[in-house]
Structure 1
Amino acid sequence: MKNQHSNQLLLLTFATILISTSGALGKFIDLPAPVIIWGRSALGALFLFIFCRYKKLSIKIKSSKDFPTILLSALLLGTHWVTYFYALKLSNVAIGMLSLFTFPVITALLEPLFTKTKLNRIHILLALMVLLGIYILVPDLNFENTYIKGILIGVFSALCYALRNLILKRHVHKYNGTVLMMQQVLIVSIFLLPVMFKMDISNIQAQIPYLIILGLVTTAIGHSLFINSLKHFSVSTASIIGSAQPIFGIIIAFLFLNEIPTLNTFFGGSLIIATVVIESIRSRNK
């Protein structure tokens, strides 16, 4: 049982690293945010469809009662992605990712409303630690520049992401995680298809390799592993462990985009990593 828990924890951490590549890719890809998300979703749907066929997984929605919540969670996912990438474009990888990571706080506060459980005080404490870490990481703000807009849009993106995870939680024991992700990115790609005719896509050919990485590594593999983790962890636990994403994202941005982290990054990052370690130990001992 302990070994199984450790394996699931490693898979969740690996998923976190893969999803963390979205920050650098979102900042680097030279296309409008909705176009990037359409490419991400369409390619992700293709890769996941091929995988589902290979594994002989049914991609059908099993009950008409499941369709409204799967549709709603997909639309929330698409809104989360588009607003997150706008936040990255308006600020930088660190600010964009860190503003998004208010979502563990939002998740911990909202989860009792969805699961009819009592509010866990430990989750609130850990969420506040994450919030303090994010506060330390954010540089001084000039309200005349675009950084504050990036942060506000990032927080809205966090709300969409938290709601999407909580709504999708009810389906993880009925559907394979890869199937759920395939259904969601297919829906997102259909709803965003009109942007391909209304926005500037003249540069899309040069960006295709990066869109493939975003669609395959970040979306198809990373998010499928994250959804599967919800079978073994609560949404709050998965969210708090996933709070290491800004740290991984900042490291990736430093290596590939030469975005140099400040001293505050290390102080704030230490708080976030501490919450990951504490929640990992706490969830292991359940």
Structure 2
Amino acid sequence: MLNNNQKNYLHLHFIVFIWGFTAVLGALISVEAIPLVWYRMFIATFFVGGYIWYSGFSLRVPGKTVLAFILAGIVLALHWVAFFKAVKVSNVSVTLAMISTGALFTSILEPIWYKRKVIWHEIVLGLVVILGLYLIFKVESSYIEGIVLALIAALLSSVFSLLNGRFVRQYRPSVISFYELLSGVGFLSLFMGGEVFTGEFFRLASRDWLYLFVLASVCTAYALISSVKVMKYISPYTVMLTINMEPVYGILLAFMVLGDSEKMNPQFYIGAVVILATVLANGILKHREGIKKGKADGPGNDVGASPDVGMC
């Protein structure tokens, strides 16, 4: 029999597996990136809102905080648009390899955001990531547009993480996400324009409706809420290490589901491994620095856990 820690650890892996499947769903859904993200956020808003209503959480927050949530929601919407557009114009493997650079973007932006000194190993690791990107650019020149879009998505994910890093100290991740998802829907609705929402817009293939429902319910609402619960019992360090498996799971799933379209040049995989290993090394070094400074590495809680983990 598995004990509670083992069950939660396996549950976390399952959630990361789900996040890895998000890009595959993006490739399977025939809808273009912008309406795809609109559908995802629109449907997910109802699921997260239903969870909040069932749990009896309050949605009351100060007006200035709502404005901050709206800004974060717009960033999240733009991140997802760039992410799914990258999948559409390249493939899942390229997109996920580039998305894994998000943690390094965060390391670069954190000193500016929190006004702290730049750490030397983050600069070195950033140069190693550039090497990994060079290896991929060199052999996958036909996917340049997808690579650039995925890097933009990775940059936006780091901006979103920094914005949410301040919110989670005071508010529940489910409440934060409700406002952000709703804001993203509003922003994309204004961007697309009211004339888009005709009967044709909602006339999708039954397969697309099924995939969108899975994307919004399982990969967004369920994964968000479940990840927060799991993080109550697993240390942030273990969570960080596990989440680095997301691109690995995603690339393997893409190869199994999508077949030959996901076969890449061997040098691509070398570059991807270099990037993933660098991101992992950065997390380990940060963990060691935290220990030296006497920071606790115990389980999280609902208010303090980050809601943007695995935000693909």
Superposition TM-score tier, normalisation by shorter sequence:
0.7 to 0.9
Alignment-derived partner of residue 116 in structure 1: 115
Q: Deviations over 1:118-171 (max 9, x none)?
A: 2233344444444444443456244xx5x2222222222222221111111101
Alignment-derived partner of residue 84 in structure 2: 85
Q: Are 1:166 and 2:165 matched, yes or no? A: no
Over alpha carbons, which structure has the higher Rg? Answer: 2
Partners of 1:166 and 1:44 in 2: CA distance: 22
Partners of 1:17 and 1:160 in 2: CA distance: 22
Q: Name the % identity.
A: 26
For residues 210 and 197 of structure 1, do their structure 2 counterparts lie closer, same or farther at Cα, with a shift above 3 Å needed? farther
Q: Which sits farther off after the overlay, 42-51 or 149-158?
A: 149-158
Partners of 1:80 and 1:107 in 2: CA distance: 14
1:46 CA drift (Å)? 1.2
Alignment-derived partner of residue 139 in structure 2: 140
Trace 1:191-210 onto structure 2 (pairs within 5 A). 191-193=187-189, 195=192, 197-198=195-196, 201=201, 202-210=203-211
Alignment-derived partner of residue 181 in structure 2: 185
**RMSD of Structure 2 on Structure 1 (CA):** 3.5
Q: Deviations over 1:104-127 (max 9, x none)?
A: 222111111112222233344444
Q: Which sits farther off after the overlay, 103-112 or 193-202?
A: 193-202
Alignment-derived partner of residue 263 in structure 1: 266
Partners of 1:11 and 1:33 in 2: CA distance: 30
Partners of 2:20 and 2:150 in 1: CA distance: 15
Contact kept, 8 Å, 1:24 with 1:249, in 2: the verdict is: yes
Partners of 2:170 and 2:42 in 1: CA distance: 24
Partners of 1:13 and 1:273 in 2: CA distance: 17
1:222 CA drift (Å)? 3.1
For residues 5 and 205 of structure 1, do their structure 2 counterparts lie closer, same or farther at Cα, with a shift above 3 Å needed? closer
TM-score, normalising length from structure 2?
A: 0.75
For residues 19 and 135 of structure 1, do their structure 2 counterparts lie closer, same or farther at Cα, with a shift above 3 Å needed? farther
Partners of 2:20 and 2:256 in 1: CA distance: 13
1:212 CA drift (Å)? 1.1
Alignment-derived partner of residue 310 in structure 2: none
Q: Deviations over 1:235-258 (max 9, x none)?
A: xx9888744432221111011111
Alignment-derived partner of residue 59 in structure 2: 59
Partners of 1:66 and 1:9 in 2: CA distance: 33
Q: Which sits farther off after the overlay, 122-131 or 213-222?
A: 122-131
TM-score, normalising length from structure 1?
A: 0.81
Trace 1:202-221 onto structure 2 (pairs within 5 A). 202-221=203-222
Contact kept, 8 Å, 2:33 with 2:84, in 1: the verdict is: yes
Contact kept, 8 Å, 1:177 with 1:225, in 2: the verdict is: no
Q: Give structure 1 stretches of 5+ with no counterpart.
A: none
Partners of 1:279 and 1:152 in 2: CA distance: 23
Contact kept, 8 Å, 1:243 with 1:272, in 2: the verdict is: no
Alignment-derived partner of residue 249 in structure 2: 248
Partners of 1:198 and 1:78 in 2: CA distance: 18
Contact kept, 8 Å, 1:104 with 1:239, in 2: the verdict is: no
1:210 CA drift (Å)? 0.4
Contact kept, 8 Å, 2:244 with 2:280, in 1: the verdict is: no
Partners of 2:8 and 2:55 in 1: CA distance: 21
1:47 CA drift (Å)? 1.2
**Equivalent position amino acid for 1:136 in 2:** L
